[in-house]
């Protein structure tokens, strides 16, 4: 039997940092499902397929082979034989992922991959629909959120530190738009599962959130 922890929530709430650390402490595998949607988005961008072109996306779902490998404990996304980890973190890919993730066929394809991974290994999986749709029987479900202002502030700091010029208001607007797309799509939208524990990282440090999740998991096991 394998254990699974589902961490869902809006963009920029700190899910990946926290999920990665929790997985490390427990010796579980960290599964970043957003990276899979980004790989699919990269495929669509390269082929010049629009996010609302259902017919061509349907074809793309058959042609894009997405698999996951691990190197030094880090998830590597392989798209038709190419490791695309270095190409999926751009704004362009992020925006396309946000738009194309509303497509049902894209979701069904990637959810199958995610469920197969959780069936074989102990996982901490983060995303938007893990507790509600991908792993409804997860041992622990966390809904991690933070105010849009706090999330925009973190993103602004991250970009500024990288030397990238950016506008705080534009970042916050982008975050609100992405949340809106994730929460209002028809198929498997972002929402808190009934049995998920709500954690708000607006005023909690990373370590505090990780410790809370560890305590919750050990209490449930």
Where on the chain is the footprint of ligand C5P (CB under 6 A)?
A: 11, 33-34, 37-38, 94, 97-98, 101, 127-129, 178, 182
Does 189 show up as a binding residue in the annotation? no
Does 12 show up as a binding residue in the annotation? yes
Q: Please list the alpha-helical segments (H only) found in the chain.
A: 15-26, 33-47, 54-63, 91-100, 104-120, 148-161, 168-184, 206-220
Give the residue among 26, 1, 28, 14 at the shortest CA–CA distance from 125: 28
Cβ closest to ligand C5P, residue 189 vs residue 211: 189
Cβ closest to ligand C5P, residue 85 vs residue 98: 98
In the complex, least distance from residue 93 CB atom to ligand C5P, rounded to whole angstroms: 8
Cβ closest to ligand C5P, residue 107 vs residue 217: 107
Interatomic CA distance for residues 89 and 39, integer angstroms: 10
In the complex, least distance from residue 110 CB atom to ligand C5P, rounded to whole angstroms: 8
In the complex, least distance from residue 62 CB atom to ligand C5P, rounded to whole angstroms: 20
Give the rounded distance of the alpha carbon of 10 from its chain centre: 9
Cβ closest to ligand C5P, residue 54 vs residue 215: 54
Are residues 201 and 13 in contact, defined by beta-carbon separation less than 8 angstroms? Answer: yes
Does 48 show up as a binding residue in the annotation? no
In the complex, least distance from residue 2 CB atom to ligand C5P, rounded to whole angstroms: 19
Both tokens assigned to 71? 């190197």
How is residue 86 annotated by DSSP? G
Does 131 show up as a binding residue in the annotation? no
Interatomic CA distance for residues 31 and 37, integer angstroms: 12
Does 102 show up as a binding residue in the annotation? no
Instruction: Report the binding-site residues for ATP.
Output: 9-17
């Amino acid at each position: 039997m394998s254990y699974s922890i589902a961490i869902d929530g809006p963009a920029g709430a700190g899910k990946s940092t926290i999920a990665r650390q929790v997985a490390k402490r427990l010796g579980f595998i960290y599964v970043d499902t957003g990276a899979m949607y980004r790989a699919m988005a990269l495929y669509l961008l390269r082929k010049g397929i629009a996010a609302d072109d259902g017919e061509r996306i349907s074809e793309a779902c058959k042609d894009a082979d997405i698999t996951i490998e691990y190197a030094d404990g880090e998830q590597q996304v392989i798209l038709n034989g190419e490791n695309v980890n270095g190409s999926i973190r751009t704004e362009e890919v992020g925006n396309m992922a946000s738009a194309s993730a509303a497509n049902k066929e894209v979701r069904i394809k990637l959810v199958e991959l995610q469920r197969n991974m959780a069936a074989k290994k102990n996982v901490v999986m983060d995303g938007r629909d893990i507790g509600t749709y991908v792993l409804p029987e997860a041992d622990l479900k966390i809904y991690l959120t933070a105010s849009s202002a706090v999330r925009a502030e973190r993103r602004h700091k991250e970009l500024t530190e990288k030397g990238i010029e950016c506008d705080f208001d534009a970042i916050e607007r982008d975050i609100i738009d992405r949340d809106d797309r994730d929460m209002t799509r028809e198929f498997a939208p972002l929402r808190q599962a009934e049995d998920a524990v709500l954690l708000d990282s607006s005023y909690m440090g990373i370590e505090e959130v990780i410790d809370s999740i560890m305590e919750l998991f050990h209490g449930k096991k």
